Each structure stands twice: as C-alpha cells, then as structure tokens.
Amino acid sequence: MMDKRIGFIGLGNMGINMAKNLISEGYHLQVYNRTLSKADELDAAHITKCNTPADAAEGVHIVITMLADDEILKEITLGNEGILEKLPEHALHISMSTISPETSEQLATLHEEAGSHYLAAPVFGRPEAAEARKLWVCVSGDQHAKDTAKPVLDCLGQGIIDFGDTVGGANVVKVAGNFMIMASMEMMAEAYTLAEKNGLDRTQVAAFFGSTLFNAPIFQNYGKAIAGKQYQPVGFKSKLGYKDARLAFKLSQASETPMPLVNALHGRLLTAVAKGRGDTDWVEGIGRGVSEDAGV
C-alpha cells in the first residue's frame, strides 16, 4: 500500500530511532543519509537505501527530514538531486529539524510553488525519548498537512501540539524551548557551583531541587549530570547547543526582543566552542565553563 511507503532523510542520533519506530509500525522507508551505512542498523526488509534525497522522495506521499541545521536542510531540499526534484505533486514534506522559522517559511513557499506541501514539526526529546516514542511534536502549518501527518507523527511521540497556521510557529516554540533548557542548565551549574564553593554537596542540592520545586525532567536528568559533572557519553554536542543559541539570538534580533539570558548563554557556548570544546556534550560546555570561571 502506497501510504505505507515514506521517505526518511537523516539518520543521526534522533533520526535512527524515529526510523525504527516507523518500521515497527509497518512503514517501508526510502532512506537517505550522507553516510548511508548508518542504514545498516535498520531492518533491511523494510527499507530501500537511496543514493540521493531526490530518490528518497520519489513516489511517496510523505517525506520526513531530521537534519542538523538550516543549511543542510536547504541543501537536501533545494540542492542538486534534492527532495524537490522528485517529490510527487500533493505530497508532504514533514520537516522535523531544529531550524529557524524563516527557513520554514521559505521552504513552505517553495513547496507550494512546486505543488507539494511542507509542515514544520520539530520535536523535543533526547535520543532515548525518540527511541521510547516519548517525543513531543510541535506542528504548525496548514490543516490538511497536519491531518496527513498525524498517523505518522503518532508513531514517534507521546503528543502532538498544534501551534497554528503560520508555518514557522512550531519552530519558534522549539527555539524558545531549547533556550529554556540551556538557561536551566546554566542556572543549575551556577547554583550548584555556589553550593560547592560554600561547602555543600552539589549532588544533594540537585537532588533536593529536582524532587521538590523543580521536579521536572530537565532539572532531574540534566541536574544530575551537572551536579555530578558527568560529561560522558556525549549526547548533544556543545557546538549544536551553540547553533541553537545562535538561532535564539537571531530570532531575538528579527523580532526585536531583547533577551539578556539568551546573550549570556550564547556567550557561554561560544566560549566553549572557542576553547575547543565544540564536540563535548553541552552539559560539559556549560557546566565546565561555570566551574572553570570559579576556579574549581
């Protein structure tokens, strides 16, 4: 059945888990990834390996992209042998990467011109959440696209939240949320370092806040890592965090919204990158930065 054949582009830490969930729900995936060998992790019976994004988009009614940044998404979509070369008329591109609303708006227009559709559907959640179908999916765009995407998105997360008709809306929410996560990490790193330098046990303080006033996943999971200075394994790199800080900063400029904490976090992550720590986990990029400034 044609409906069960979809294109899937981007097999990074997040994408690979999402692809597995789609396969286990009976989808057949036309996969494309820069390093195609990543697809070997998937059940060969239910995928077709493609050599170009265009091939992955050929003949399907839905193609999903989960890529690192705006530039790569644009290249994959608009470039030579890109999605738009072969995406069928009336088909839908579900764009799940963390990108700027500006890029979503630009791509949505180009899809409409080509007779196809584009839906912004960025997600919140780390790779473990992707694996466990616990992602939160934020969507924005036209209603028909949302209806079409729903059965597919239901396989990937625990909830779909609709942020309206303006296609960039969900991207704004995603950028705002990532800012809130990194600000929470900085806040904890400062508070726990203050505790440490005053003779307290960082871990106990983090456990207290994470089980009382701040008993939310962000403060529990990241809080534990920050308090314990657990910087391995690398889940989300500092340089990707810095990319997100740049997205937040750019959005603050574009919408004329002064955001002092965005400035502070941008500075923190830029410093991590400038010091050669772009490939560390962002818990380290932030947490170690705070510790170092405090001489501990």
Catalytic residues: 174
b/e for 29-57, b at 16 or more Cβ within 10 A? bbbbbeeeebbeebeeebbbbbebbbbbb
Binding piece for a second copy, criterion CB under 8 A, among 71-79, 112-120, 205-213, 229-237: 205-213
Residue 242 CA to residue 236 CA, distance in Å, equals 11
204 makes contact with a second copy (CB under 8 A): yes
Q: Which is nearer to a second copy, 233 or 276 (CB)?
A: 276
Q: Which of residues 154-183 bind a second copy (CB under 8 A)?
A: 159, 161, 163-164, 166, 168-169, 172-173, 175-177, 179-181, 183
CB of 244 to a second copy, least distance (A): 13
Cβ distance to a second copy smaller for residue 60 or 172: 172
DSSP run (H or E) holding 63: strand 62-65
- Kindly identify the residues of this chain, within the stretch 215-254, that bind a second copy according to CB under 8 A: 215-219, 246, 248-249, 251-253
Which one, of 157, 154, 187, lies nearest residue 261 by Cα?
187
Q: Choose one: 52-60, 73-81, 188-196, 226-234; the region binding a second copy (CB under 8 A).
A: 188-196
Where residue 44 falls (left for φ over 0; alpha for ψ -120 to 50; beta otherwise) is alpha
| H/E run at residue 160 | strand 157-162
Site for a second copy in 52-111 (CB under 8 A): 101
Which two structure tokens, joined as six digits, stand for 134?
């616990």
- Closest CB to a second copy among 49 and 239? 239
**Gap between the Cα atoms of 49 and 54, Å rounded:** 12
If the CB atoms of residues 81 and 154 are measured against a second copy, the closer one turns out to be: 154
